[in-house]
Structure 1
Amino acid sequence: MSSETFKYKDGSLPIDQRIDDLLSRMSIDEKIAQLGCIWSTDLIREGRFDPDYAISQIPNGIGQITRIGAATGLRPNESANLMNSIQKVVIERTRLGIPVFIHEESVGGFCHRDATVFPQALGLACSWNPELIEKVAQVIREQMLAVGARLALAPVLDVARDPRWGRVEETYGEDPVLVGTLGTAYIKGLQGDDLAQGVAATGKHFLAYSFSLGGRNWGPVHVGPRELREVYAEPFAAAIRDAGLSVIMNSYASVDGLPCAGSKSILTDLLRKELGFRGSVVADYFSVEMLRSFHKVAADKSEAACIALNAGLDMELPALDCFGEPLKKAIEDGSIKIELIDAAVRRVLELKFRLGLFENPYVDAGVASSKFQTPEQRQLAYQAAAESVVLLKNDGVLPISKDDVKSIAVIGPAADDKRLLQGDYHYPAHLESLFESQSDTESLGLLSEEPAPTPAGQLNLGNFAPGPYYTPHVTPLQAIRDKHPDIDVIYEKGCDILGDDRSGFAAAVNAASNADVSIVFVGGKSGLKRPATSGEANDATSLSLTGVQADLVRAIAEAARKLVVVVISGRVHTLEDLVDSTNALIFCVPPGEEGGNAIVDVLFGSVCPSGKLPVSFPRRVGQVPDYFGQRNGGDKAMFFGDYIDSTVDPLFPFGYGLSYTRFEYSQPNIEVGDTTKPTAISFEIRNVGEYTGSEVVQLYCQDVVASVSRPTNMLLGFTKVRLDPGQSKKLTFIVHPSRLAFYNEAMQFVTEPGQYIFRVGSSSVDIRHELDVTLPGETTYYNQRDVVATTVVVE
């Protein structure tokens, strides 16, 4: 046959024409196959890839392959070879030769053996540095492309306002503008300017997954339509309009009784019609089946498939289940229209054409490993880790002076444990559920009535089997010893992350009493498999440090001459009881492979800390949810203004973080626009301290009187500026009036004229200038899908 006959193979034709041609040739079985996927390891038999066995599993092809990197222990060149082998079978031995794409995890780096381990997402958010996050995503893109993985199940765009939820660490924080800005940067870095040379990003989890009842994973969500759009949909809206997000993944939860995997009002009316999303929607793992077994809105798998497809969900992950034979049955008995199937298949095929898979389905496996663990990538991992460190308290003990300090006591369970440098979606932390307990269904938080979530071939993978394979990880203890060999370092673990064993306290206290400075490293263990203290399905009712770690800190405080506490954890903790007993306090989300080097360089002043909190730290768990930007009246307990046993204020507010240097803000000026024209806020910032450092400059706003109750403070934009001592720069924030828009009583997205207070500051409470203005004009109608992001001019 000529390429003219098979138009879908002609790369010179428009994509729509190619899709039309291919779709017209597909059988029902071939269409259904494109709506699902299969575990890569289900194509392996007796520890090897067998093409004959593989084609017997996918005789009609398949839409995508579930994870090679995050399901095996293959090194990059081996992973690329397996991808090529699978692709070859599908292209050469199925009737139409439709290529597959492989999806992988990449929240804090590509979840693959030998891939660069960057800080967990919340740590990246502590940098408040979109340019840095875009560079991180570019490395992830480079490594994924090297092994032929073309769909990343990231970024997480959930707005995290309940720290009890175990997946807060996977997010970019509690504010929709911050999450949207950082998520957009990640997507740009991952997808690039041309998707044919990039990796498709998946924004997840649509929608409001993070605000579940009781902070419990998969729990129902109760938010109104205004909150749903202004807060939880806004990061997705930003990703769609500003980065061209390719794929969306649904939430496991229900919103006001509507399971997101099966809600047309969420996946079609809101996502596609209101927000303008044109790409594919993929199911979070097993969520189609959950319409039957968990939410109980479907009587059987056929009905679950129909509900999901009618809602606007295109592909089932991680394997064909409801979208397999149950869907075929529904088509045959007329329960679902073929036009709906065609619409979903069309979106899947469009993504494959945009990725260029029909023209370039294979990769050069021989060079794949050269794209992993390069010096440049490790340097970027170091920079990301360094910028993620947040200094919460410092009475002058930091930075540590090598001239004055001759001995250091290094204490604590997080001082020398590389596993604690990882988040729940890092390799190998994420794969513990596979290589430690292959038959443990409960370890992935799935329903006990369901079959084990591991691939069918998992128990006989041979050399493909995953394992505890780490890239070189530098712990804080190792970094101190390597970087400062002249200092006498005394190490005592003291206790574990979990448990009540205090037998190591005495030795730890003795070490502290004999050292010039004591540094205690405490924290948590992030993961999917228990025991863990945070991560997916590891939710908590207490936000205190686990085990006896707080007792260890208090014991050390009694003996230490100077005490620094470093908390390395994926969870937001209540640290009020530790603040008064320490000279300095640092918080660091699992920082990845270069975490030890980065933390130690901050401790000793080689790096001036610049991290800012993307979440509020409550004083006590009883304040939860206690987040920045609550609506008027929400930040006080009426009518005394506080609790009977606590202030309502957080211990550490959103946007907070100290530095070793000082920044002065001066010469504020505002050029007021109106409800149709931008407003410009300018000022000068100067480094008036002794260290070169970076400041995260934040712009907030309050709509003083509006037609509905508005937040007391809203983040409009931010920028990170690096200044040498004495250096100054002029900054100008340009705020488009659509950035001030909200949903009025009639659910119209409007910007109203009236009084606004613009606030410039170093955090949400450290405000350096307030500019009270009246915005002229008429009430102006906008669409959320068209909001213009705030820009910053630096001179």
Structure 2
Amino acid sequence: MSTDSSTVATSIYQCADKPIDERVADLLSQMTLEEKAAQMVCVWNEKNDKLLNEQAGFDPVRAKSHFGHGNGLGQIGRLSDAGSKAGKNFALGRNARQMAELTNTIQRWFLENSRLGIPVVFHEECLHGLMAVDATSFPQPIGLGATFDPDLLRNVHRVIAAETRCRGGHHALSPVVDVARDPRWGRVEETYGEDPYLVATMGTAAVEGLQGDRTFTDGQSVVATLKHFAAHGQPESGTNCAPVNVSMRVLREVFLDPFKKAIQQGKSLAVMASYNEIDGVPSHANRWLLRDVLRNEWGFDGVVVSDYYAIRELNERPDLYGHHLAVDGKQAGELAVRAGVNMELPEPDCYLTLVESIQDGQLSEVELDEMVRPLLKQKFQLGLFDNPYVDPELAEHLSGSEAHRSIALRAAHKTITLLKNHNKTLPINRDNINTIAVIGPNADRSLLGGYSGLPRFQTTVLQGIRDHLDNSAQVVYHEGCKITKGGSWFEDEVVPYDAEEDRRSIVDAVEAARAADLIVLALGGNEQTSREAWMSNHLGDRASLELFGKQDALVNALAELGKPMVAFLFNGRPLAFSNLAEKVDGLFECWYLGQETGRAIADVLFGDVNPGGKLPISIPRSVGHIPCFYNHKPSARRGYLFDEVTPLFPFGFGLSYTQFEIGPPKLLRSQIAVGESTIVQVELMNTGKLPGDEVVQMYIRDCVSSVTRPVKELKGFQRVTLEAGEKRTVSLEITPESLAFYDIDMNHVVEPGEFKIMVGNSSKDSDLQCTMLEVVV
């Protein structure tokens, strides 16, 4: 059903030397209504029945049965999980070479069997690595946020892009630039933390890594998708997809700002609308959000994709909920088009009736053209009309390579955050240790977190320590207790483990540790206790932040032995671990470190690597201390009866095996005019005996303003590596953007007056030194 060759030869859209906008206009002018609507449709699970055979290979008979009409198709979702259902049974997925061969075969079929020869886009989940077999798995985003290292983020996402594109993927459903302000929410692990400046900086770096120079000529870059637009990170009651009840000022300054920067500075080419509603308007029907703000104010000219099944939710999603803005799927599709959603993911549903909506006058063809034009433009930008295929041999060589593995290890090293080091217990001198007891439910299990593939390499805490010691000391192991039965991210039902069995296991663990010189604990959560709650039978948000199951009982029993104890926490959200923090000598927050978990833990434990991570989110003392974020208003933390109001560990906090001294901040210009910039400098010195990293952080407070302002806001940071005794001047720029906010009239301005400039190594007042900046008219 391909276009006649003479027609193709004379069509502008087929000419690689023509400008992309001309090619798009020419192609759009030749398309029927049905062909336009087909570009707004995707298949995901349905690919197994419509494109693939029982062995997950391409089936031309099925393809012709479903797509033989010649109208084409917009996207195919997650070919990496070909053969599985809803991402489950992931081992059935194709390896790199097989996936590259399959994408080539499917792409060729659509080019040859659509009337106009329009290629398809393959989208993939790329949260912390391509979610596929043999792909490199990096730390979860909350862990990458702890690195405070945007250069590392760019490198990590260059790897993710290369491993995705070489297999035939084009469109990454990442990064997540939600600001996580409620730790009960199960998707905290997908974010870079609680601070809009940190999230914006890291998210922008991720976009730049994924998209490269945006020419896509290197064949190793992909389209980045900012998720989830907008305000998804502070849902009512901490439950996923719940309404977000915030003021317009908070919405703009906290939740929209990372998206704005990642679009205007990072040039992200795609945005995913969010499930939640803001002020009664779900994002997929929110014309103000998707048109007035995103496109008209910010100048976004890319593609807006729906979150999975979210357009259907404008009506009613069976067995879940409905927003009831639409009477049926047809009207839901009309609302989404009017709002500006270009592509419905993941399956053909509400957008199947778009032609009917035009024919009965509910939509116009002009509105459809407006939606299709950016979709076609991206296919041209990606080079799919001119170079649609990939090299399977390159895919096999790149995916999970040793070079990529070294970047994953470096990212894990930089993620690990030291929270306690009583009496300088750490690092451990292996020459003084004869026996180490490695105890805990996370000691000998894969710790990747949600949206993870099956990496070629994986190491557990236990294996990492054993490999590192290489028989120079005895390593004994006991699980101690379990967190849940199973614990897989994909398992819907979450089943607590039998308490009596755990009690017996704790007794055995204590006996196993009795002769040890050191106890290493691996505790926290698992992929079930913090995850995306995507259905009513697949939950992941929690009303408690305590260590799940009998972990505290295990800690208490082991503490009775009086042995030195060091704990590593693995979890997707902040946990309230006051008891653990009190009982252990050394404490690390690791989040999820990716495929190199064991190697990274051993390197840090024994001092081959000096930890330098910082908390990207505050650690609360209990669920009753929520909200706990540091950048609160002056009246928000007056105190509690019989309890502290401060966090257990504050945002930006993290220790080192060495010591750093930060000198008093000095402004190059202590008085500037509105619209001008200045620089604050500090002298940073490593006063200890080991090389290490420190993150110098700058916070700002407008002292007197037309509306109340947070007590402090992060506006600059720099991670610095210094040798023992080395000194360096660290300079952080203060720009008009650093000082601006939405004033009493909702104008984004810098108000003249005094600004408190605070510089230090965490958000805690006692860790900061201050100077004053005067801004004049």
Is 1:480 aligned to residue 455 of structure 2? no
Match runs of 1:375-394 below 5 Å: 375-394=402-421
Among candidates 154, 175, 199, match of residue 134 of structure 1: 154
Report the Cα offset of residue 45 of structure 1: 2.6
CA contact (8 A) 1:533 1:546 kept: no
Partner of 1:717: 716
The range that moved more, 231-240 or 760-769, is 760-769
1:293-346 Cα deviation digits (max 9, x unpaired): 11110001111001000001110000111001x222211101111111000000
Q: Structure 2 matches for 1:160-239, cutoff 5 A?
A: 160-197=180-217, 198-239=221-262
1:342 is aligned to 369
2: distance between equivalents of 1:70 and 1:545? 33
State the 1:697 CA deviation: 0.8
Q: Distance in 1 between matches of 2:373 and 2:144?
A: 35
Match of 1:771 in 2: 771
Pair 1:38–1:258, CA change in 2 (3 A): same
Distance 2:568 2:216 in 1: 43
TM-score (norm 2): 0.92
* Matched-pair contact (CA < 8 Å) for 1:169–1:535: no
Identity of matched residues, %: 42
Correspondence for 1:589: 591
- 1:520, CA displacement in angstroms? 1.1
Partner Cα separation in structure 2 for residue 56 and residue 6 of structure 1: 28
Moved beyond 6 Å, runs of 4+ = none
Are 1:3 and 1:10, in contact at CA under 8 Å, matched by a contact in 2? no
Match of 2:699 in 1: 700
Counterparts of residues 240-639 of structure 1 (less than 5 Å):
240-293=263-316, 294-324=322-352, 326-395=353-422, 396-418=424-446, 421-428=447-454, 470-484=455-469, 485-498=471-484, 499=497, 500=499, 501-526=502-527, 531-536=528-533, 537-634=539-636, 636-637=637-638
Q: How far apart, in 1, do the equivalents of 2:589 and 2:665 lie?
A: 32
Is it true that 1:68 corresponds to 2:79 in the alignment? yes
Unaligned runs of 5+ in 2: 1-5, 84-92, 317-321, 485-496, 534-538
Change (3 A) 1:666 1:127: same
Name the residue aligned to 2:16: 11
Aligned mate of 1:34, from 39, 49, 69: 39
Distance 1:532 1:55, change over 3 A: farther
Q: Which moved more, 1:225-234 or 1:68-77?
A: 68-77
* Distance in structure 2 (CA, Å) of the matches to 1:152 and 1:699: 32
The code of the aligned residue for 1:111 comes to M
TM-score (norm 1): 0.90
2:240·2:532 contact (CA, 8 Å) conserved in 1?
A: no
**Which position in structure 2 is the counterpart of 1:793?**
none
Partner of 1:53: helix, strand, or coil? Answer: helix
Q: Which residue does 1:25 correspond to in 2?
A: 30
Distance 1:650 1:547 in 2: 23
Quote the Cα distance in structure 2 between the aligned partners of 1:195 and 1:245: 13
Shift of the alpha carbon at 1:423? 1.2
Cα deviation for residue 3 of structure 1 reads: 5.8
Checking the alignment, whether the CA contact within 8 Å between 1:699 and 1:758 is kept in structure 2 is yes
CA contact (8 A) 1:535 1:570 kept: no
Partners of 2:465 and 2:601 within 8 A in 1: no
What residue ranges of structure 1 are gaps of 5+ in the alignment? 429-469, 778-795
Q: Residue 740 of structure 1 aligns with which residue?
A: 739
Equivalent residue letter for 1:771: T
Match for 1:626: what amino acid?
C
Paired with 2:327 and 2:257, the residues of 1 have a C-alpha distance of: 34
Does the 8 A contact of 2:180 with 2:233 survive in 1? yes
Q: Is the 8 A contact 1:686 1:729 kept in 2?
A: yes
State how many pairs are aligned.
724
1:622, 1:547 → 2: CA distance?
19
1:645 aligns with 2:642: yes
Change (3 A) 1:359 1:15: same
Shift of 1:623: 1.2
> Helix, strand or coil for the counterpart of 1:136?
helix
Amino acid at match of 2:269: S
SS in 1 for 2:410: helix
What is the CA distance between 1:4 and its match in structure 2? 6.3
Of 662, 676, 692, the match for 1:665: 662
Displacement of 1:525 in angstroms is 1.4
Residue aligned with 2:379, SS: helix
Q: Does 1:157 align with 2:168?
A: no
Q: Distance in 2 between matches of 1:147 and 1:534?
A: 27
Q: In 2, Cα distance between the equivalents of 1:93 and 1:404?
A: 70
- In structure 2, the residue corresponding to 1:147 is in which secondary structure? coil
Match of 1:106 in 2: 126
Which digits, 9 at most, give the CA deviation of each residue in 1:193-229, with x for residues without a partner? Answer: 1342320000000000111110111111111111111
Please say if residues 465 and 602 of structure 2, whose CA atoms lie closer than 8 Å, have aligned partners that are also in contact.
Answer: yes
Structure 2 distance, partners of 1:475, 1:487, is: 18
How far, CA to CA, are the matches of 1:194 and 1:205 in structure 2? 22
C-alpha separation in 2, matches of 1:648 and 1:28: 60
C-alpha distance in structure 1 between counterparts of 2:330 and 2:165, whole Å = 36
DSSP-derived class of the 1:403 partner: helix
Deviation at 1:773, TM superposition (A): 2.4
Alignment correspondent of 1:45: 53
Q: For 2:432, what is the secondary structure of its paired residue?
A: coil
Separation (CA, whole Å) in 2 of partners of 1:758 and 1:351: 43
Give me the whole-angstrom Cα distance separating, in 1, the residues matched to 2:81 and 2:289: 30
> How far did residue 30 of structure 1 move?
0.3
Cα displacement (A) at 1:510? 1.6
Contact 1:83/1:148 (8 A) holds in 2: yes
Contact 1:524 1:534 in 2 (8 A): no
Question: How far apart in 1 are the matches of 2:227 and 2:74?
Answer: 20
The SS at the match of 1:149 is coil
C-alpha deviations, 1:50-93, integer Å up to 9, x for none? 12321332231111111111445101111011111111111111
2:164 is matched with which residue?
144
Note the aligned Cα RMSD (angstroms).
1.3
Deviation at 1:532, TM superposition (A): 4.0
Aligned to 1:392, the other structure's residue is in SS state strand
- Paired residues of 1:180 and 1:235 also in contact (CA < 8 A): yes
Contact preservation (8 Å) 1:37, 1:318: yes
Decide whether aligned partners of structure 1 residues 70 and 736 sit closer, same or farther in structure 2, where only a CA change above 3 A counts.
Answer: farther
State the AA in 2 paired with 1:715. Answer: L
**Whole-angstrom CA distance in 1 between matches of 2:532 and 2:22:** 44
Cα distance in 2 for residues equivalent to 1:162 and 1:380 = 31
Matched-pair contact (CA < 8 Å) for 2:664–2:770: no
What amino acid maps onto 1:46 in structure 2? E
How far 1:16 moved relative to its partner?
A: 1.2
Whichever residue aligns with residue 123 of structure 1, its letter is: G
